[in-house]
């Protein structure tokens, strides 16, 4: 492990320099890795494992779109592609990457397939931390571990292919075998993590749910919409409003932040932009702080979990979701976005 200074706080992180892929292969050589769920994280983690020399098997509902996707990706029914229960039965490491609501629904069947010494792996602490709502209580005779990539499945795969990797957190909830930590780290390296940092199941799920609803997705979407609407209200064209709200952020400024930090981005903008950013950042920080307080409280008390399980377990969930996403897609702002993207040189 390497000691890294994060803004004055020393944390221990794990990289492939300290924990090599070869070491991960040695630790996992006798394991059968079963990936349950081929929806969001499942394909990325399974394909990265396969490309790194492991032989994962997939558990998925036979005949659905995700089953067909697994076949298209080279997994073979009856050989490396099975029902969820059969894959769980065959695995010694069971990666439960089904949706949070789906994990609660399938848990009785998955639990019945666990054998003594198996490792039950998650990429999110949701089901374990909110066990009163999900009913997911692992038996005492298995390891319970987690590696949570800090990115969508799409980018877990993209970053693996370009060699950069997605950073991941890791945690051990239950160590039955005495090998839980080495199994966890080996799996983190095996899926191509850029580096691994320690946390707990509880801290991961609190930070993750807050981040998704906040800066990473919900706050980002809402703030973009508010600025776009103000510009349009004041007579700016859709193209101008979209470019000043989204395109410049995603195609220019956020890349500078990723490269060297927020101060670097500020330093590489005009002095007028710098002054405005420095003056207005505290105003936005103070304005949204109460919203984040409310958000974190709802996450911590399980109110957000109840909403997720209620909405995502509804029989018409996929249809309702499609309707909500289509409303965004067909809004003027994102229709303008589609037109702007089409004009990028690589798309012309």
Catalytic annotation, residues: 124
Give CA–CA dist 183/167, Å, rounded.
17
* Token pair listed for 338: 């589609």
Q: What is the CA radius of gyration of the chain?
A: 22
Lookup: tokens for 17: 């320099």
DSSP string, 234-262: TT--HHHHHIIIIIHIIIIIHHHHHHH-H
Q: Are 104 and 135 in contact (CB under 8 A)?
A: yes
314: phi > 0 → left, psi -120 to 50 → alpha, else beta; which?
beta
Alpha-carbon dihedral of residues 250, 256, 259, 264, nearest 10 degrees?
-150
Q: CB–CB of 9/22 below 8 Å?
A: no
Query: What is the spatial distance between Cα 126 and Cα 32, in angstroms, rounded to a whole number?
Result: 24
Q: Which residues of 298-324 are buried (b: 16+ CB within 10 A; e: fewer)?
A: bbeeeebbeebbeebeeeeeeeeeeee
Q: Which residues pair with 10 in a beta bridge?
A: 5
């Amino acid at each position: 492990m390497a000691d890294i200074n994060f803004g004055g706080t020393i944390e221990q992180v794990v990289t492939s320099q300290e924990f090599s892929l070869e070491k991960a292969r040695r630790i996992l050589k006798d394991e059968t890795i079963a990936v349950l769920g081929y929806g969001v994280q499942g394909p990325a983690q399974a394909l990265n494992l396969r490309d790194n020399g492991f032989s994962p098997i997939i558990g998925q509902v036979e005949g659905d779109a995700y089953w067909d996707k697994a076949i298209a990706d080279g997994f073979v029914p009856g050989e490396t592609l099975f029902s969820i229960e059969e894959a769980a039965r065959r695995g010694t490491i069971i990666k439960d990457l089904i949706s949070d609501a789906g994990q609660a629904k399938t848990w009785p069947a998955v639990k019945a397939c666990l054998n003594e010494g198996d490792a039950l792996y998650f990429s999110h602490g949701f089901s374990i931390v909110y066990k009163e709502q999900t009913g997911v209580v692992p038996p005492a005779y298995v390891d319970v571990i987690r590696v949570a990539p800090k990115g969508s499945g799409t980018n877990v795969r993209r970053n693996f292919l370009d060699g950069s990797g997605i950073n991941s957190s890791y945690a051990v909830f239950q160590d039955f075998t005495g090998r839980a930590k080495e199994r966890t780290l080996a799996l983190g390296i095996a899926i191509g993590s850029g580096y691994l940092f320690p946390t707990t199941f509880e801290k991961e799920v609190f930070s993750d749910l807050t981040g998704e609803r906040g800066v990473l997705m919900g706050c980002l979407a809402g703030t973009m919409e508010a600025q776009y609407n103000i510009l349009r209200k004041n007579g700016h064209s859709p193209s101008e409003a979209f470019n000043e709200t989204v395109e410049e952020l995603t195609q220019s400024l956020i890349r500078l932040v990723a490269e060297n930090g927020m101060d670097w981005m500020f330093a590489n903008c005009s002095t007028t932009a710098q002054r405005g950013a420095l003056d207005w950042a505290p105003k936005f920080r103070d304005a949204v702080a109460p919203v984040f307080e409310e958000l974190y409280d709802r996450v911590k008390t399980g109110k957000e979990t109840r909403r997720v399980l209620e909405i995502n377990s509804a029989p018409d969930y996929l249809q309702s979701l499609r309707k909500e996403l289509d409303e965004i897609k067909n809004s003027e702002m994102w229709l303008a976005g589609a037109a702007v993207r089409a004009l990028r040189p690589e798309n012309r």
